[in-house]
Structure 1
Amino acid sequence: MSATSPVTADFSSPPLKRSKIVLLGDQSVGKTSLITRFMYDTFDNTYQATIGIDFLSKAMYLEDRTVRLQLWDTAGQERYRSLIPSYIRDCSVAIVVFDITNRQSFLSTSKWIDDVRSERGNDVIIVLVGNKADLSDKRQVTLEEANAKATELNIMFMETSAKAGHNVKSLFKKIAMSLVGMEKEGEAAEQQNTKIDVTSPTTNEVPDASQCNC
């Protein structure tokens, strides 16, 4: 009598849904630092510019499911700008980062958001992130104006500090939960379509001859 090994049970579970998240923004706003803080809970004081694109992956465990976040860290320098659209093309989330102590980086977020919209339309979650909140005494962008911009563009907004670890986990948890919300909406829509497909015709309708199953 052959018994099924319990080890094989794991293979029947569905693979983790992967969600591609692209971080965008000007040079030195802290994109890499946000990822490093989220992935390893560390912060490196020495600044090294990202060359091209870096990729990391991390699973997030939520109440009813696990989401695998694929984090794509893009270079902020102008010379890498031509690479960006191809990475935005199939992303689920775009995190557009600015430095609250650098007004120009905040103004630049408009062009980054335009890039995302031109590639993904409305089929994407966009989050505006004001980083370096630990340097609030050097602030050049107020919380109010960043909030107003996010409201106007109908996107999420959060202030973070990669250095202090402030709001970084909250940011990615909020994103993961938004992704799950979208996923559930999609599942509900699919179920609704299935129900519509299987409804039998009402009694006063005469079926088409072409639909006869004889």
Structure 2
Amino acid sequence: MTEAIASEAASNPGMQMKYKIVFLGDQSVGKTSIILRFTSDSFDVKYQATIGIDFLTKTVYVDDKMVRLQLWDTAGQERFRSLIPSYINDSQVGVVCYDITSRQSFENVKSWVEQARQ
């Protein structure tokens, strides 16, 4: 991803780059934890399920160019899956997460990738 960002930033000097990154995966695999660690270097030991969709932003610099990242946290519960396609449509990056201690969450990666590609 860094090469693509650097290339686009170089071809658009002075323009602020913005990328929407959607995190997908089963419930309680760590999507929120990954986003919180990246955006604020924090970790909450208490589990709290994401309701629907949430997002945080982080500004990073790539080759001295400002890049704004929107990190979208999706709920892994089945009842919220119908919301996800509308958030994936205009995203540039999809990150599928799974829990290494849950074989089922790993096996569900294929369905998350398929949903992202629709």
Do they superpose with TM above 0.5?
yes
| Residue-by-residue CA offset, 1:151-184 (whole Å, 9 max, x unaligned) | xxxxxxxxxxxxxxxxxxxxxxxxxxxxxxxxxx
The separation in 2 between residues aligned to 1:111 and 1:103, in whole angstroms, is 14
* Residues 1:42 and 2:10 are matched in the alignment: no
Q: For 1:20, give the aligned amino acid.
A: K
* 1:57 corresponds to: 57
* 1:82 corresponds to: 82
SS at match of 2:108: helix
SS at match of 1:98: coil
After TM superposition, the score normalised by the length of structure 1 is: 0.48
The separation in 2 between residues aligned to 1:27 and 1:70, in whole angstroms, is 21
Q: For 1:23, give the aligned amino acid.
A: F
Q: For 2:53, give the aligned amino acid.
A: I
Structure whose CA Rg is larger: 1
After TM superposition, the score normalised by the length of structure 2 is: 0.86
Shift of 1:116: 1.2
The separation in 2 between residues aligned to 1:68 and 1:114, in whole angstroms, is 27
Structure 1: tracts of 5 or more residues without a match? 1-12, 119-214
Q: CA RMSD in A?
A: 1.2
* 1:26 corresponds to: 26
In the TM superposition, what are the counterparts of 1:95-114 in structure 2 within 5 Å?
A: 95-114=95-114
Q: Identity percentage over the alignment? A: 61
Deviation >4 Å, runs of 4+: none
The separation in 1 between residues aligned to 2:40 and 2:62, in whole angstroms, is 19
Structure 2: tracts of 5 or more residues without a match? 1-12
The separation in 1 between residues aligned to 2:62 and 2:25, in whole angstroms, is 28
Higher strand share: 2
The separation in 2 between residues aligned to 1:52 and 1:83, in whole angstroms, is 7
Report which structure shows greater RCO (CA 8 Å, sep ≥6): 2
Higher helix share: 1
Q: For 1:43, give the aligned amino acid.
A: F
Shift of 1:64: 3.9
